[in-house]
Structure 1
């Protein structure tokens, strides 16, 4: 009976999808979003401009930073 030759898999280490800079940007984005929600929950004045205008803008900036962190391509280390 003929024996099948199975290809030997080499242990090639795949590079990580994200690098340290991606994770740092993601952490910064999360902190900015949390800061926006803290400002939104702030003082007792419901109609203050910081709650209605500033806090949602800060939250959107935080989400944008997270989006950039995901899409940022790793630098080539050749």
Structure 2
């Protein structure tokens, strides 16, 4: 008789880790979407929309929050 061992493949992270990772990716993507745009079609005309509070304050804050959530998701104990 042969001893066959069936090894189940386990994921590196648990379900909660992946949920938090998806939330972090959503925050980062939303931050980059808020940063996009604001340019002018005519290079000789300066558009003041580039200095909108949404691009200067909100978007980088969302990206940093998203990176914090990603770090938390990686360090979260999946066994708990």
Give the TM-score normalised by structure 1.
0.73
* Corresponding pairs, count: 69
Separation of aligned partners in 1, 2:64 and 2:58: 10
Higher relative contact order (CA 8 A, sep 6+): 2
Are the aligned partners of 2:20 and 2:69 in contact in 1 as well (CA < 8 Å)?
yes
Q: Which has the larger radius of gyration?
A: 1
Q: Which runs of 5+ in 2 are unaligned?
A: 40-48
Aligned CA RMSD, in angstroms, stands at: 2.0
Q: State whether structure 2 residue 57 is matched by structure 1 residue 53.
A: yes
Scaled by the length of structure 2, the TM-score of the pair is: 0.71
Task: List runs of 5+ in structure 1 lacking aligned partners.
Answer: 1-7
